[in-house]
Structure 1
Amino acid sequence: MNAKIKYEMEFPIQASPSLLYQYISTPSGLSEWFADNVNSRGEIFTFLWEGSEEQAKLLSKKSDERIKLRWLDDDDNNFFEMRIQVDEITKDVSLMITDFADDEDDVSEGKMLWENMISDLKHVLGSA
Structure 2
Amino acid sequence: MEKIQYELEIPVHASPNMLYQYISSPSNLQEWFADKVNARGKVFSFVWEGTEELADLITKKSGERIRWKWQESEGDESFFEIKIQVDPLTKDVSLIITDFAEDEDEVEEAKQLWENQIDELKHTIGA
Q: Fold-level match, TM-score > 0.5? A: yes
Cα separation, 2, equivalents of 1:47 and 1:102: 20
Three-state SS of the structure 2 residue aligned to 1:89 is coil
Secondary structure at the residue paired with 1:123?
helix
| 1:97-116 C-alpha deviation (Å, 9 max, x unpaired) | 00001111110110010011
The whole-number CA distance in structure 2 between the counterparts of 1:73 and 1:5 is 16
Q: In the alignment, which residue of structure 2 is the partner of 1:54?
A: 53
**With structure 1 as the length reference, what TM-score do the two structures score?**
0.96
Structure 2 Cα separation of the partners of residues 94 and 115 of structure 1? 12
1:58 deviates by 0.2
Which residues of structure 2 form unaligned runs of 5+?
A: none
Aligned residues: 126
Relative to its length, the structure with more helix (as a share) is 2
The answer on 1:100 being equivalent to 2:100 is: yes
Equivalent residue for 1:16? 15
Query: Quick one: distance in 1 between partners of 2:83 and 2:121?
Result: 14
- Identical residues among aligned pairs (%): 61
TM-score (norm 2): 0.97
* One-letter identity of the residue aligned with 1:18: N
The code of the aligned residue for 2:4 comes to I
Deviations 1:13-60 (A, max 9, x none): 011001000010110110011000100000000001111000000001
Find the aligned partners of 2:104 and 2:32 in 1 and give their Cα distance: 25
Matches within 5 A, 1:56-95: 56-74=55-73, 75-95=75-95
In structure 2, the residue corresponding to 1:32 is in which secondary structure? helix
Root mean square deviation, CA, Å: 0.7
SS in 2 for 1:67: strand
d(CA) in 2 for partners of 1:46 and 1:77?
A: 20
